[in-house]
Structure formats: C-alpha cells, structure tokens
Amino acid sequence: MELDSFPRRSYISEFTPIEHMEKLSMHLGGANFFIKRDDLMKGLTEGGNKIRKLEFAVADALMQGADTLITSGAVQSNHCRLTLAAAVKEGLNCRLILEERVPGSYNKMASGNNLLFHILGVEKITVIPGNADAKVEMEKELNELTNSGRKGYIIPGGASYEVGALGYVSCAEEILEQASSMNLSLDYLVTPTGSGGTYTGLLAGFFKNNSDIPVLGINVSRDRIAQEELVYNLIQKVLRKLEIDREFPAGNVRCFDQYVGPGYSLPTDQMKSAVKLLGRLEGILCDPIYSGKGIAGLIDLAKQGYFKPGENILFLHTGGVPALYAHADLFLSEESELDRILESQ
C-alpha cells in the first residue's frame, strides 16, 4: 500500500537537505560522512524528526474527531513540544504527561522545551515518576475527557506506533530520491534510536522499496537486546499496515548500546565531546539526549574502523536543539582536551 492511501497533514514544505560533512570526514579519515538535516525541518515550532510522524498521527486524530491530543515524554521532550505545536496549528487542545526519568529533574521554571510548553499554551501538564506507567496516565486523561463530553486521542511517546512510523517510511523514500539525484551511493545510514519509531520507519521504508542500505541504530536509552526487540516488533505492525507480506529479516535490526552511558538523558563525556566537535567543525548543533549521543556513536564507530575507506555514511540528525539550552552547564565548563586539540590544528 502506498503512503498516499493514508490520511496525512502537510507540515513539511520541502525535502530536508543532505550535506557532506567535509571537515568531519577529513578529521576522522577514511569514509565520507553526510548528514540528513531533519533538524532543519521547520513545519512546526523549532523543528525536528517528530514532525514527520505527526503528519500521520494528527491526521488520524482529526479523522477520528478528536479535540484534544494526549501524549507523553521526558521532562524536556521534543516530541511533547512538537505534538503541542501541531495541536495549536490544528486548533486542538493538548495534554502532556511528563516522565521524570531522572529523579528531581522536572523544574517548572526550566528553559528549553519546558519554556516552549508554556509559550504554546499547553492545557495541562502532569508530572509522573520515571517508573510510573505513562500509558496508564494517558488513559486516565482520555477517560476524563470522555466523561466531560470531549474526545481525546492518545499519541504514544515519540509517536512511535505504526501510524507515526509512516513518517519515516516517507523519509526513507525521500532519502532514496535525493541520493539518486545526487548520484550518491550510500553504504550505511546511522540514526539515534529511543522510542523506536524513526529507526523502524527507515527500516520499513527501505525494505518497502527493495533497498539494501543497512541502517544502524545508536541507542539512547535501552540495552541492545531490548531495543532490537522493540524495533523488530514494531516493524511487523508497520509492514502489516502497509500490506507488505514479505518477511523482514531480524538480522537487519542492528543497534549499539555502548553510547547510552548511565541512562536516558544522562550525559557522557563522549556525547559532550561529539557535540562540541560537530559544532566546531561543521557549525551544526546537536542536542545532548538524542543526536548528541547518536553522533558520538558515529564518531566512535569510525575511529574503531567500522566503516571502510571510501564508504559513504549518512547520519540522520533528528533535531531537538531546544533541549540543548536546558543543559548549558554541560558545555560551559572549563577548557577540555578537545578544545586544546582543535585549537592546535
């Protein structure tokens, strides 16, 4: 089944660019590194990868007559910010369940995405402990709305369900079209992966179009086995929705968990160095939660020799830069070894 068979809102006016990271490629040596700039996707407030998913998720909500979107995420969730922005654009209300995955991390006066929640006019924020069940809390909100004569629609965290993942099926097709027009043969695509919808959609999109480009996931939260299981289970649902009856090879789901560090949203030295390196070499900002750990994984795999000389590697930048401003303390510390190395070059 083709994507135009599904209801879809139009928040993105054009393809996001693929850019050659020439200076990073020279710095790492060997392979050629490119970046897919989904951080420049500006269809909703401050952009980011969730916009692609929300085109399908919000269309489904509107088709079902919803007047309120309900979703969940961490206290600085890019997904929550963009779901709220989509609700504003569509004249809907929005309720957020914020998971305090790091105890004590919620600050109602924080900058970053938290500030944007309030500027955009969130109807209600409920903060829950990280070990609570966000699905249960979203169901409570749904029932409360129903009992008051309203109609809610739950978008799972990250819009990572079979409807939302269609956004990255579409992105995979976009990448194939761009690569063809650029005469660019891709050997790998690398993406950060958390709730799984982006990675799943890319895998399904390439599979749908008979492309054999390997997609590598850099985990930001779970261990490798748990993440690969989550993605594999979701891809079965996406393929059923697309009415594709070919069996997806489980071995095509390849995740790396050595860059998670102590846990979701908790910083690592590799992440901090990678964010600074990409900023200094390419003028590209990464957030410390997703794209920062993703680019740290890409850089480390390159240093380990995972990619062969001359291969073309595409990194998907998932956006999320507003979260960077809520973690300024990570990057305003004393001079690092990286600073000294770069200044000597």
Catalytic residues: 77
Secondary structure class of 126 (helix, strand, coil): strand
At 7, list the tokens: 């209801």
At 269, list the tokens: 């030295």
Angle between helices 113-120 and 78-90 (to 10 degrees): 20
Number of Cβ atoms within 10 Å of the Cβ of 130: 16
DSSP 7-50: -------SPPPEEE-HHHHHHH-SSEEEEEEGGG--SSTT--TH
At 335, list the tokens: 């001079």
Q: How far apart are CA 156 and CA 195, in angstroms?
A: 9
Give the DSSP H or E segment for 98.
Answer: strand 93-100
Q: Residues 309, 335: contact at Cβ < 8 Å?
A: no
The overall longest dimension of the chain from CA atoms, in Å, is 65
State CA 15 to chain mean position distance. 17
